[in-house]
Amino acid sequence: MDSETAKNMKPESLMMSYGYKPELSEGAVKCPIFQTSTFVFKSAEEGKAFFEVAYGLRNAQEGEELGLIYSRINNPVLEILENRLTLWDGAEDCAVFESGMSAITTVLLEFLKPGDMLLISNPLYGGSDHFIKKILPKFGIEVIDFKVGQCKEDIIKIIDASDHADKLAFVYIETPANPTNDLIDIACSKEIAMHYSAKYQKEIYLAVDNTYMGPLWQHPLKHGADLVLYSATKYIGGHSDVIAGACLGSKALIKRVKGLRTFLGSMAGPNTGWLLLRSLETLKARMDIQAFNANKVAAFLTGHPRVEKVYFPGNLTEKDGEQYVIKNKQCLTNGGMISFDVKGGEKEAFRFLNALKLIKLAVSLGSTESLAEHPATMTHSDVDAELKKEFSITEKMIRLSIGVENYEDIIFDLNQALEKTTS
Ligand code: PLP
Contact 55, 48 (CB under 8 A): no
Distance 7 CA to ligand 1 centre (A): 31
User: What is the distance between the terminal CA atoms of the chain, rounded to a whole angstrom?
Assistant: 61
Can you give 36-85 as a three-state secondary structure string?
CCECCCCCHHHHHHHHHHHCCCCCCCCCCCCCCCECCCCCHHHHHHHHHH
| pLDDT tens column, 13-72 | 999 999 999 999 999 999 999 999 999 999 999 999 999 998 888 988 988 888 999 999
- Out of 96, 101, 172, 239, give the residue to mutate to test ligand 1, the one with the largest number of ligand atoms within 8 Å of its CB: 101
Atom of ligand 1 nearest to the CA of 104: 10
Contact 117, 142 (CB under 8 A): yes
| Pairing between β-strand 142-147 and β-strand 117-122 as defined by DSSP bridges | parallel
| Pairing between β-strand 360-361 and β-strand 337-342 as defined by DSSP bridges | unpaired
Q: Would you state the pLDDT for residue 3?
A: 74
The 3-state DSSP class for residue 373 equals: strand
**How far apart (Å, rounded) are the C-alpha atoms in residues 77 and 95?**
12
**How far apart (Å, rounded) are the C-alpha atoms in residues 304 and 60?**
61
Q: Would you state the pLDDT for residue 423?
A: 67
Q: What is the mean pLDDT of residues 310-314?
A: 98
Which of 336 and 388 is assigned the larger pLDDT?
336
Distance 127 CA to ligand 1 centre (A): 7
Q: How far is CA 363 from the centre of its chain?
A: 15
Q: Would you state the pLDDT for residue 397?
A: 97
Atom of ligand 1 nearest to the CA of 364: 8
Closest Cα partner for 175 from 136, 220, 215? 220
The set of residues, in sequence order, having a beta carbon less than 8 Å from that of 220 and lying 6+ positions away, is 89, 186, 208, 210, 228, 330
pTM, 2 dp: 0.96
Q: Would you state the pLDDT for residue 289?
A: 98
| pLDDT tens column, 149-206 | 888 999 999 999 998 999 999 999 999 999 999 999 999 999 999 999 999 999 999 9
Question: Which amino acids bring their CB within 6 angstroms of ligand 1?
Answer: 99-101, 125, 127-128, 174, 178, 209, 211-212, 231, 233, 243, 245, 364
| pLDDT tens column, 211-261 | 999 999 999 999 999 999 999 999 999 999 999 999 999 999 999 999 999
**How far apart (Å, rounded) are the C-alpha atoms in residues 422 and 407?**
24
Task: Give the range among 7-11, 294-298, 330-334 with minimum mean pLDDT.
Answer: 7-11
**How far apart (Å, rounded) are the C-alpha atoms in residues 348 and 83?**
46
**How far apart (Å, rounded) are the C-alpha atoms in residues 97 and 48?**
26
For 201-304, where are the alpha helices, taking DSSP H only? 214-217, 251-264, 270-280, 283-301
Q: Given pLDDT bands bounded at 50, 70 and 90, which one contains residue 286?
A: very high
**How far apart (Å, rounded) are the C-alpha atoms in residues 109 and 88?**
26
- Out of 108, 129, 173, 178, give the residue to mutate to test ligand 1, the one with the largest number of ligand atoms within 8 Å of its CB: 178
- Out of 132, 184, 211, give the residue to mutate to test ligand 1, the one with the largest number of ligand atoms within 8 Å of its CB: 211
Strand order in the sheet with 307-311: 307-311, 337-342, 397-401, 371-373, 360-361
Closest Cα partner for 130 from 384, 334, 374? 384
Read off φ and ψ for residue 243, nearest 5 degrees. -105, 130
Distance 124 CA to ligand 1 centre (A): 10
Percent of the chain with pLDDT over 70: 100
Q: What is the mean pLDDT of residues 89-114?
A: 98
Query: Is residue 2 scored above 80 in pLDDT?
Result: no
Q: Would you state the pLDDT for residue 262?
A: 95
